[in-house]
Structure 1
Amino acid sequence: MIREPAAFEALLERVHRFVRDVAIPAEACVEEGDEVPADIVAIMREEGFFGWSVPEAYGGAGLTTEELVLAALELSQCSVAFRARVGTNTGIGSEGIVADGTEQQKQAYLPRLASGDWTGCLAVTEPDAGSEASNVRTIARREGDHYILDGEKCFITNAPVADVFTVTARTDPQSKGAAGVSAFIVERGSAGLATGAPYRKMGQAGSPVSAVYFNQCRVPADNLIGGREGVGFKTIMKVLNKQRIHLAALSTGPAIRMLDMAIRHTTGRVQFGEPVANYQLVQAMIADCRTEIFAAQPMILETARKRDRGEDVALEASMCKYFATEMCGRVADRCVQMFGGAGYIANLSSIERWYRDVRLFRLYEGTSQIHQLNIARLALRDAT
């Protein structure tokens, strides 16, 4: 649902200008320095990028799901580090509070997340709880008006720069699976909280990821999301269903950018007396890329609209995430191929960086294989 078309078009134009005039010229700097420069983060704050998903009542833009994915398609056509810098605030870092937080929690945290003054992140994954997200080992035990958290999270996007963490922990030590898992808001500076050094990664330079450690970490009882124990996994699934639609859009934008780069290269590169783009086997790769991008866009938009109507989108969100991330990987591979040897040399082209950066899309928010199982399970359920 697009609420005010004229105002929303103006927002998309601002995002487009940011990508073209600010982000793309800074991509090499971000890659070399492994961070988004502070002055660009300040611009993103001023533009309101951090608050896209936060309701207007708490200082955000209150974008609908359809509006969010359209904005994400624009923002993700520059280096993934830029959208990752705001992405936890517009998605997994704030959505748990938006979905199930108490009014007190929303008032306390959402305005700061919407403004970008604080960076949020979601700390769910553990060494033994990745694809099996319900296998949480982090423990939270009640002690007076606090909970004491002990455990470790890993692969947490923006953890090194986060000010506030949405954390899953088991409040019933005798429980198994999703039962007994609760969600907490934990502020940086809490006694017993520490983040590890940023990982060295295959790609996505400028997007810091690290482990998070809880050692007798004291969290006020008021920071139990929703004020209820044992429903944290349900909160996280609400977060992930929306985020999977969002991520599908964030995977389609890079595919658009990579194809544009490949077309510009092949139309300018002359071999055997004519542009490489004139050769039919190159044209076949262009056609395959363009067709798959076209297929992803209406799938994502229809799922977003369905969610905005309040319908169950668990199956569609999983299909969007699975198809769009796999599609992006195929587009990246073809585009490197269209660049030829230049596509492998970082000095000659940034397409090799894109190839490395988008590889992660098929792993986080549920691996492709987990989504295949989920899609099949839901399809079989609906058939009975």
Structure 2
Amino acid sequence: MADQPTTSEVDANDFADMLATTRDFIRNSVVPREQEIVDTDAIPEDIRRALADMGLFGYAIPQRWGGLGLDLAQDVELTMEFGYTSLAIRSLFGTSNGIAGQVLVNYGTDEQKAEWLGRIASGEVIASFALTEDGAGSNPAGLSTQAVRDGDDWVIDGTKRFITNAPSAGLFVLFARTRPADASGPGIAVFLVPADAPGVTVGPKDKKMGQEGAWTAEVSLQGVRVPDSALVGGDVDAGYRAAMTSLARGRVHIGALAVGAAQRVLDESVAYAAVTTQGGQPIGEFQLVQAMLAEMQTGVMAGRALARDAAQQWVTETDRRIAPSVTKLYCTEMAGKVADLGVQVHGGTGYMRGVAVERIYRDIRLLRLYEGTSEIQKLIIGGGLVRRAIKAANGR
């Protein structure tokens, strides 16, 4: 059923050029406009168009469906560049390439892919991953949104929360319960719900601690009717597998994003320490400041190596469960510590709005929450290790 290639559809030389172009665009065209994004709570339209022209709305979608066909190892390299600036940039197309788009790539029917993936890859349609509810976030088993079959259609009722890109979405990749969990599965299916379907209501944009320009909102569904062809994969039991696979892949991606943000904090802090004086002496010459910079550098380098290793394990199908959770857990926690140290290096200046490390400090706090909290990652890692050991002990 999977359509995602295990190896990239872009060779190393072409990807190197793509990566260099992306880095140049981020650092020279986006970084100088970060405050504009904060002040307007929006991505400027010219930046959005440029991102689409670069193919970034479909970089992880296979070429046969209009994308670039990058594998996760290449995704990680790009994502570390995205993390270097406002996280709203990555949010604009990250879901279409990642947790939402990969559900279609790996579980959709050929007809569903033909209808949606080309439009998603071009940026014409923003795909939104509608899983989270009041009682179902990191653990989808608590899902309460209901889908009831009615003739050849399905009728969906429920409410989703904190849905990324909901205010601008053209398509909701939406998870709903079709039956109570039983021995055959959790009873969760995934549906393709157009944002303009009757009965779909998107609430006002959430007011968040950070990540200005990255829009989230509540999505209400009241008697939303979709045809049977909207059932992803044509299988009511595909939804839970789709959610788990997409989330696991996304955890490597989020880990890389955290590394990029931590690198930016480190660069800002080193530059600040080199030119800011105390008593006529650059603060970077103080040993305790150097110690903080050393901790930051160590965390960034370890996180980068871990994200790259986990991505390679995903591509080779060596480990698609424990390694993604290890990556997300370590890299997002590391980025939080690096951001805190960055503010400390900047002193009072680091607490002021308009200073990069202050914004990043707020932005990256969310990374430890979505796509599975740090606590959930610990359960996945620990439980996976124990199950692996039991399996080995039983000779299976």
Task: State TM-score, norm by structure 1.
Answer: 0.97
The question of 1:377 aligning with 2:379 is answered no
**C-alpha contact (below 8 Å) 2:180/2:186 kept by paired residues:** no
2:50 corresponds to 1:50? no
The residue number in structure 2 matching 1:14 is 21
Match of residue 359 from structure 1 = 365
Instruction: Determine what percentage of the aligned residue pairs are the same residue.
Output: 37
Selected match of 1:186 from 190, 193, 197? 193
The answer to whether 1:72 aligns with 2:95 is: no
Letter in 2 for 1:44: L
In the aligned structure 1, how far is the partner of 2:346 from the partner of 2:279?
16
Q: Distance in 2 between matches of 1:329 and 1:220?
A: 44
Q: Runs of 5+ in structure 1 lacking a partner?
A: none
The answer to whether the 8 Å contact 1:322/1:371 transfers is yes
Q: What does 1:111-150 align with in structure 2 at a 5 Å threshold?
A: 111-150=118-157
Count of aligned pairs: 383
Instruction: Work out whether residues 75 and 83 of structure 1, in 8 Å CA contact, stay in contact via their aligned partners in 2.
Output: yes
**2:351 maps to 1:344:** yes
Distance in 1, matches of 2:215 and 2:109, equals 30
Residue 311 of structure 1, CA deviation? 2.7
SS at match of 2:92: helix
Structure 2 gaps of 5+ residues are 1-6, 391-396
Task: Give 2:393's aligned residue.
Answer: none
**What's the offset of the Cα at 1:296?**
1.0
Aligned to 1:245: 252
Where does residue 85 of structure 1 map in the other structure? 92
Q: Can you list the C-alpha shifts for 1:79-134, whole angstroms capped at 9, x where unaligned?
A: 11111111111111211001100011111110011111110110000001112211
Q: Distance in 1 between matches of 2:261 and 2:115?
A: 35
Letter in 2 for 1:216: G
SS at match of 2:149: strand
Which position in structure 2 is the counterpart of 1:212? 219
Higher deviation after alignment, 323-332 or 76-85:
76-85
User: Residue 104 of structure 1: SS of its match in structure 2?
Assistant: helix
Distance 1:178 1:201, change over 3 A: farther
Alignment of 1:21-32 (within 5 A): 21-32=28-39
1:233-312 aligned within 5 A: 233-312=240-319
- The verdict on how the C-alpha distance between 1:177 and 1:84 changes in structure 2, with shifts beyond 3 A counting, is farther
Question: Contact 1:258–1:351 at 8 Å: present in 2 too?
Answer: yes
Q: Do the aligned residues in 1 keep the contact of 2:167 with 2:216 (CA within 8 Å)?
A: yes
Contact 1:180/1:231 (8 A) holds in 2: no
After the TM superposition, list the runs of 4 or more consecutive aligned residues in structure 1 that deviate by more than 4 angstroms.
173-178
Name whichever of 374-383 and 60-69 sits farther off: 374-383
Match of 1:108 among 105, 115, 123: 115
CA displacement, residues 188-241 of structure 1 (integer Å, 9 cap, x when unaligned): 111111111001000000000001111000112101000001221111111011
User: Of 190, 199, 202, which residue of structure 2 is paired with 1:195?
Assistant: 202
TM-score (norm 2): 0.94
Tell me how far apart the structure 2 counterparts of residues 269 and 230 of structure 1 sit (CA, whole Å).
59
Letter in 1 for 2:329: Y
CA distance in 1, matches of 2:318, 2:121: 26
DSSP 3-state at the match of 2:226: strand
1:28-61 deviations in whole A, cap 9, x for unaligned? 1000000101121111111111101100100101
Task: Tell me if the contact between 1:179 and 1:231 (Cα under 8 Å) persists in the aligned partners.
Answer: no
In structure 2, relative to structure 1, the CA distance for the partners of 1:143 and 1:338 (3 Å cut) is same
**Partner of 1:134: helix, strand, or coil?**
helix
**1:143 Cα deviation (Å)?**
1.2
How well do the aligned residues superpose, as a CA RMSD in angstroms? 1.4
Structure 1 residue 328 corresponds to structure 2 residue 353: no
Alpha carbons 1:259, 1:289 under 8 Å: kept:
yes
CA distance in 2, matches of 1:296, 1:174: 37
Q: Offset at 1:382?
A: 1.7
TM-aligned CA deviation for residue 379 of structure 1: 1.1
